[in-house]
Structure 1
């Protein structure tokens, strides 16, 4: 699948978005990317083990809790995850954390039907991360090659008719 098609399929009118590595620090990309989702009025869940709320969004401690909520059609915290068609995830974590998070995702029942896109922001991945994505069967959903949602996100939203 081309990067353009992957970017298009990352977005959807009934999609839940999650930012793994969301940050309360305005100088960090974990803040800037979350802010991009919020400013585009996309339903986004910040994932951070230490924070409670970022940019007015209730934080969830780990991505697997979000996937389980979507898989079982439950809401999580203030997020309406019971009615979405899946989750598209932006990663802003160091590669080691990204790899570990992908392995956690693979423990969730039906994760392959729940995860709709994996956007590895520059700096969040290395060859090991790409290998793990392949190993768990999600490499077709991966956006990388130094693509940044701050640059390509609008195009993806337009192509998905959002």
Structure 2
């Protein structure tokens, strides 16, 4: 699968997005990327174990909470996770945290049908991250190679007809 087609499938009309490593610090990409989703009217759940709210969005402390809500067709706080077709995640965490998050994903029984895309932002991944994504059977949904959603996101939205 080409990077362009992976970027296209990352987006969907009925998709829930999450930002792992979302931040309240405007100089950090965890803030800028969450803000990008908000500006494009895309529902994005910030994941951060230390914050309660980022950019007026309720924060979830871990990815499993989101996966379970989608799997059980339940809404999560103000997020309409009961009605989505799956989850696409932007990672802005250091590689060790990205690995830990991928392991959490792998512990959810139905993760393969829920996860629609894993966007590893520059600096969020290393070979261990890519190997683990491969082991989880999710490598065909991975966007990496130093691709940034702030650069390629518009193209993805257009190619997904959003």
Give the structure-2-normalised TM-score: 0.99
The answer for unaligned runs of 5 or more in structure 2 is none
Query: Residues 7-156 of structure 1: matches in 2 within 5 Å?
Result: 7-156=7-156
Q: CA deviation at 1:55?
A: 0.5
> Which SS does the other structure have where 1:46 is aligned?
strand
Alignment length, in residue pairs? 162
TM-score by length of 1: 0.99
CA RMSD of aligned residues (A): 0.4
1:126 positional shift: 0.3
- In the aligned structure 2, how far is the partner of 1:103 from the partner of 1:138? 12
State the shift of 1:103 in Å. 0.7
Shift of 1:75: 0.5
Q: Which runs of 5+ in 1 are unaligned?
A: none
User: Displacement of 1:78 after TM fit?
Assistant: 1.1
- Report the Cα offset of residue 77 of structure 1: 1.2
